[in-house]
């Protein structure tokens, strides 16, 4: 409710403005009014244009950026590989991860990403990369935060009980499915170590593929691009030979890769990265088909 004092003050200001401004300077006052009217029209039309630009064909306001992912088309081949790129995570290795994803897809090669879900939705850059390329990626759950106990050196999920495993796997799945738009069916245990309790939870949560556990060699590791003992990249010829052995047995070849292996002092190492590109090109030259676990 307007107070009497406020109303009288407002009327006094109007009278004062009329005598001191409008009456003395009518042309200036009129010009100011015209400018205010035009500015109001521009603002109203601008708001309408922005609102319309955020609507879909049905007139619904879009809540977030949408992406159109174009699936790669590969010719069928008896030689099949799974490129498992681990340690995709929030606020780390972002640029190199994007390069590896996009350079693989540009060569018509799909990827299985071992994704760490902790804090992932807070990193707009990497989540946008995953959303934009989701039709050529499988997002596999790579633990929760990939932690290692400082006291015992035990990896996350290596000695975890059923209740804790269920909580972390459910939340991790929810995050990856929200970003990727596909059901999560693959679990990659950090350090490739997993407790029996966690295995029970995986079945309950609809996880079909366990990649990395020594007891599940069918989905395990056949070759790696990096030797952690010597702390250097493996020769591409060794990787190709190991995969040829798998092909000779009519089996697919799982190759484990990490984005940080192509960094030096936290910067992209062009020489190292060229080795990754050469490996992709070698597989393309041999007409090898890259697949994902969820396509098996």
Query: Residue 265: its pLDDT value, please?
Result: 97
Task: Return d(Cα 23, Cα 202) in angstroms, integer.
Answer: 82
Q: 234 with 243: CB under 8 angstroms?
A: no
Element (H, E) at 31: helix 26-53
Residue 45: HSE in the Cβ half-sphere, 13 Å Cα cutoff? 6
Mean pLDDT (the chain, rounded):
86
Prediction pTM value: 0.78
Q: Is the pLDDT of residue 151 over 80?
A: yes
State the distance between the two ends of the chain, measured CA to CA, in whole angstroms.
Answer: 70
Task: Return d(Cα 159, Cα 175) in angstroms, integer.
Answer: 23
The residues, any chain, with a CB within 8 Å of residue 31's CB and separated by 6 or more, are: none
Task: Return d(Cα 283, Cα 292) in angstroms, integer.
Answer: 16
Give mean pLDDT, residues 130-152.
97
Which tokens belong to 49? 């244009």
Q: Is the pLDDT of residue 8 over 90?
A: no
Task: Return d(Cα 182, Cα 69) in angstroms, integer.
Answer: 13
Query: Per-residue pLDDT tens for 82-124?
Result: 999 999 999 999 999 999 999 999 999 999 999 999 999 999 9
Query: Residue 28: its pLDDT value, please?
Result: 64
Q: 126 with 88: CB under 8 angstroms?
A: yes
């Amino acid at each position: 409710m307007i107070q009497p004092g406020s109303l009288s003050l407002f009327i006094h200001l109007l009278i004062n403005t009329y005598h001191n401004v409008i009456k003395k300077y009518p042309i200036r006052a009129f010009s100011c009014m015209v400018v205010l009217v035009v500015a109001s029209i521009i603002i109203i039309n601008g708001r309408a244009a922005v609102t319309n630009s955020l609507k879909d064909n049905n007139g619904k306001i879009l809540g977030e950026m949408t992406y159109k992912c174009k699936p790669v088309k590969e010719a069928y081949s008896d030689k099949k590989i799974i490129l498992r790129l681990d340690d995709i995570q929030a606020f780390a290795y972002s640029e190199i991860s994007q390069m590896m994803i996009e350079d693989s897809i540009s060569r018509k090669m799909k990827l299985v990403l071992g994704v760490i879900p902790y804090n992932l939705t807070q990193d707009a850059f990497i989540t946008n990369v995953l959303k934009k390329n989701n039709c050529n990626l499988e997002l596999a759950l790579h633990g929760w935060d990939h932690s290692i106990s400082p006291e015992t050196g035990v990896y996350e999920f290596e000695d975890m009980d059923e209740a804790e495993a269920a909580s972390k796997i459910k939340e991790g799945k929810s995050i990856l499915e929200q970003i990727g738009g596909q059901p999560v069916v693959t679990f990659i245990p950090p350090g490739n170590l997993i407790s029996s309790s966690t295995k029970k939870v995986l079945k309950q949560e609809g996880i079909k593929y366990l990649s990395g556990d020594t007891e599940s060699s069918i989905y395990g590791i056949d070759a790696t691009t990096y030797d952690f003992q010597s702390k250097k990249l493996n020769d591409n010829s060794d990787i190709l030979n190991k995969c040829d052995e798998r092909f000779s047995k009519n089996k697919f070849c799982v190759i484990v890769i990490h984005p940080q292996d192509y960094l030096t002092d936290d910067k992209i190492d062009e020489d190292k990265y060229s080795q990754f590109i050469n490996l992709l090109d070698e597989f393309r030259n041999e007409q090898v088909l890259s697949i994902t676990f969820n396509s098996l």
